[in-house]
Amino acid sequence: MQGLLASTRARTVLALPPLFRRAMSSPTPQALAEASSSRARSPVRVPGPVETTMQSKLIEAFQPSLIRISNDSSKHSHHAPMRAIGGGSGETHFAVALVSSAFSGKTQIARHRMVNSLLKEEFDAGLHALSLRLRTPQEWEKEVDAAVAEGKGQ
């Protein structure tokens, strides 16, 4: 593979330092993990009102070091309960990952209840499902390391 690259783009490839050459052939799990955690993912859709208020509430309450909100509503719009209500508003299902030291010393259930009570209005107004990944910074580090060690991205 390297030989092929060298022959088609000979001088340019050989001139690059080894690090870049390795990255060009296939990203290492390390690179994947770093890239996905540090690079801001540009959303395909502009965040709707529910997502925006959720984000500001969560940031204000937990001062997180990492927050990732993903709108999964389209993945569930074909399910029976959603079809029964005409598909929903497009802001019905979210997955939230939150890393904050506010969670230390609390069981998963206590952390979930903290987030649930914060978002009570959203639930009353039509938020249907919330998938939560709530970790302290130490737990998150451990998970990232474990994932990298297993060869997957985070």
d(CA 75, CA 79): 9
Q: Does 65 bind another protein (CB under 8 A)?
A: no
Q: Of the two residues 9 and 113, which places its CB atom closer to another protein in the complex? A: 113
**Could you say whether residue 56 binds another protein (CB under 8 A)?**
no
Closest separation in Å from C-beta 27 to another protein: 26
Residue with the two structure tokens 């529910």 = 50
CA gap 98, 115 in Å, rounded? 10
Closest of 19, 24, 37 to residue 154, by C-alpha: 37
Stretch binding another protein (CB under 8 A), from 10-18, 42-50, 57-65, 72-80 = 72-80
Interaction of residue 123 with another protein, rule CB under 8 A: yes
What is the maximum alpha-carbon separation in the chain?
63
Q: Which amino acid is at 89?
A: S
Exactly one of 4, 19, 40, 80 binds another protein (CB under 8 A); that residue is 80
Site string for another protein, 124-153 (x = CB under 8 A): ---xxxxxxx--------------------
Residue 148: both structure tokens together: 């990298």
Contact status: 120 vs another protein (CB under 8 A): yes
The span of 14-22, 43-51, 58-66, 121-129 binding another protein (CB under 8 A) equals 121-129
Nearby residues of 141 by Cβ (< 8 Å), 6 or more positions away? none
81 near another protein (CB under 8 A): yes
Query: Left if phi > 0, otherwise alpha if psi is -120 to 50, otherwise beta: which for 70?
Result: beta
Q: Which residues bind another protein (CB under 8 A)?
A: 76, 79-81, 108-109, 112-113, 116, 120, 123, 127-133
